A = this chain, B = another copy of it.
Amino acid sequence: MDGNSSETKEKIFNTAIALFHTKGYKGTTIRAIAASAKVNSANISYYFNGKQGLLEACFIRFFEPYIACLEEEVQNLSEEGLKRAAFRILHFQSENHLLSRFVWREVTVDSQIVREILSTYFMKERYLLKKLAKAWCGPGIQAGKLNFLMIQLKSMLSMPYLNSQYIREVWGMQPEEPYFAEKYGKSVAEWLDSIRQNAGAQPEPLLLETAF
């Protein structure tokens, strides 16, 4: 093994992401990853168990911290949790923009591994999103309506990172910059405010006159 082992592993992973990103998963060979990372192909087998293993590593390294953004907010459940999770997800994608773009693109494919992701990470995401959305909008919100709102939120959060080239070339913005995540996040937060108002949640806690 050449060099420090965890360093080699990271080098392979980052090279693979860059190549998957430009040449696609199918268009990238183990040989090309080895040549570009300047490691022996045996190292890739050793650390990742080949190309399929690298793909799985991409999904795990994306979805574990992604789900954690939601999970931590659910564990410390408060009204503002949904909004904070939205900002965290935007910043996480901005910091990992190559990985994000690759992963969002790969999950649009019909494959065994994508079906597994749909039934694990995405089902968990749905559960956590609903928890946060109920804390945000109040328990009175209708279930069907909540589902559509969560699909809309998901769309808004992922699209600029999946279609980063479109955002750059058509709108002249850089989704990988923290500035974009912050400004765009504010626009998403305004929408969250409006759905909360429409759902009938109170913008401020009110003192209720009780006892008569």
The answer, yes or no, to whether A109 is at the interface (CB within 8 Å) is yes
* A126 located at the interface, meaning its Cβ lies under 8 Å from any Cβ of chain B in the complex: yes
User: Could you tell me the dominant secondary structure of chain A's interface residues?
Assistant: helix
Find A183's partner among B108, B126, B148, B163 (CB 8 Å cutoff).
B148
Within 8 A of B (CB), among A128-172: 144-145, 147-149, 151-152, 154-156, 158-160, 162-163, 165-167, 169-171
Which residues of the other chain, B, contact A149 by a CB distance below 8 angstroms? Answer: 187
Q: Is there contact, CB below 8 Å, between A166 and B118?
A: yes
Which A residues are closer than 8 A to B by beta carbons? 22, 24, 26-27, 101, 104-105, 107-110, 114-115, 118-119, 122-123, 126, 144-145, 147-149, 151-152, 154-156, 158-160, 162-163, 165-167, 169-171, 173, 183-184, 187-188, 190-191, 194-195, 197-198
17 pairs of residues in contact across A and B, judged by CB atoms under 8 Å: A24-B109, A26-B26, A101-B108, A105-B108, A107-B163, A107-B166, A108-B165, A110-B165, A119-B169, A148-B187, A151-B160, A152-B187, A154-B159, A155-B158, A155-B159, A191-B191, A191-B195
